């Protein structure tokens, strides 16, 4: 009986503590909001860190990677310009690789190779999906993060960001070449 009472008293005490702290939580709704956004930004940071490992490039300015993975629907500070730069990095990298492999490649074949790598519905999207960018890129709640334009934009922006971060489009092109090395070797066969 005695231990029964102690258990009930303990339960009652816990219940009161719980109720009063949840009442406090309600009254402190405002201060609980930054905590929420901190949690969200932390999981974003973890996703970015994983992405760095995947591509084996560590950003000196982490903010550039954050921006590269931010769609224009989400923020004014977005990846649009980095994406334009990234597209040209990718095209240059493909041209270098193709001519290194075959210096006699025709202009037509070279243009085809470049167009294929740059196509939003083609390898640009496939490569971005392979890296899992659809799970990393920040978009507005109504925007589909799996849409090819979003994935491809983030994929291009990644290499634009590396070019700015490293101060070299060659470094960015190299990272691009390595992330595609599986694809390159298939193409060579
Ligand atoms: C990752 O990069 C480092 C230095 O940039 C290099 O030494 C290492 O071999 C790379 N690892 C892979 C798996 O490419
Ligand atoms: C998002 O886009 C993907 C790829 O285009 C599509 O398969 C999917 O159905 C879309 N999802 C929604 C909810 O529209």
pLDDT in tens, 119-171: 888 889 999 999 999 999 999 999 999 999 999 999 999 999 999 999 999 99
Residue-wise pLDDT tens digits, 67-102? 999 999 999 999 999 999 999 999 999 999 999 999
- CA 65, CA 53: separation in Å to the nearest integer? 12
Ligand closest to CA 150: 2
- Centre of ligand 1 to C-alpha 176, Å, is 14
Q: Contact, 140 vs 74, CB < 8 A?
A: yes
Closest CA to 161 of 92, 111, 89: 89
Ligand 2 pocket check for 144: Cβ under 6 Å: yes
**What are the extents of the domains in the chain?**
2-188
- Centre of ligand 2 to C-alpha 144, Å, is 6
Residue-wise pLDDT tens digits, 159-174? 999 999 999 999 999 9
- Centre of ligand 2 to C-alpha 142, Å, is 12
Q: Whose CA is nearest to atom 4 of ligand 2?
A: 147
pTM score, two decimals?
0.76
Q: Which residue has the higher pLDDT, 1 or 182?
A: 182
Q: Whose CA is nearest to atom 2 of ligand 2?
A: 147
Q: Whose CA is nearest to atom 14 of ligand 2?
A: 144
- Centre of ligand 2 to C-alpha 102, Å, is 39
Residue partners of 52: CB distance under 8 A and separation at least 6: 58, 59, 65
- CA 189, CA 181: separation in Å to the nearest integer? 13
Q: Does domain 2-188 have CATH number 3.50.50.60?
A: no
SS3 sequence of the chain: CHHHHHHHHHHHHHHHHHHHHHHHHHHCHHHHHHHHHHHHHHHHHHHHHHHHHHHCCCCCCHHHHHHHCECCCCCCCCCHHHHHHHHHHHHHHHHHHHHHHCCCCCHHHHHHHHHHHHCCCCHHHHHHHHCCHHHCCECCCCCCCCCHHHHHHHHHHHHHHHHHHHCCHHHHHHHHHHHCHHHHHHHHC
């Amino acid at each position: 009986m005695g231990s029964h009472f102690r258990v009930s008293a303990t339960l009652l005490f816990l219940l009161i503590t719980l109720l009063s702290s949840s009442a406090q939580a309600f009254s402190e709704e405002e201060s609980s909001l930054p905590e929420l956004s901190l949690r969200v930004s932390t999981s974003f940071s973890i996703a970015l860190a994983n992405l760095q490992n995947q591509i084996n490039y560590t950003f000196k300015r982490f903010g550039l990677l954050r921006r590269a993975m931010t769609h224009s629907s989400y923020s004014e500070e977005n990846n649009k310009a980095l994406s334009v730069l990234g597209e040209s990095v990718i095209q240059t990298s493909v041209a270098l690789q193709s001519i290194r492999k075959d210096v006699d490649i025709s202009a037509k074949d070279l243009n085809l190779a470049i167009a294929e790598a740059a196509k939003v519905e083609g390898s640009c999207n496939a490569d971005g999906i392979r890296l899992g960018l659809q799970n990393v890129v920040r978009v507005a709640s109504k925007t589909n993060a799996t849409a090819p334009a979003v994935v491809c934009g983030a994929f291009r922006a990644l290499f634009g960001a590396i070019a700015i971060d490293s101060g070299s489009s060659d470094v960015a092109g190299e990272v691009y070449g390595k992330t595609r090395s599986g694809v390159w070797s298939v193409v060579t066969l």
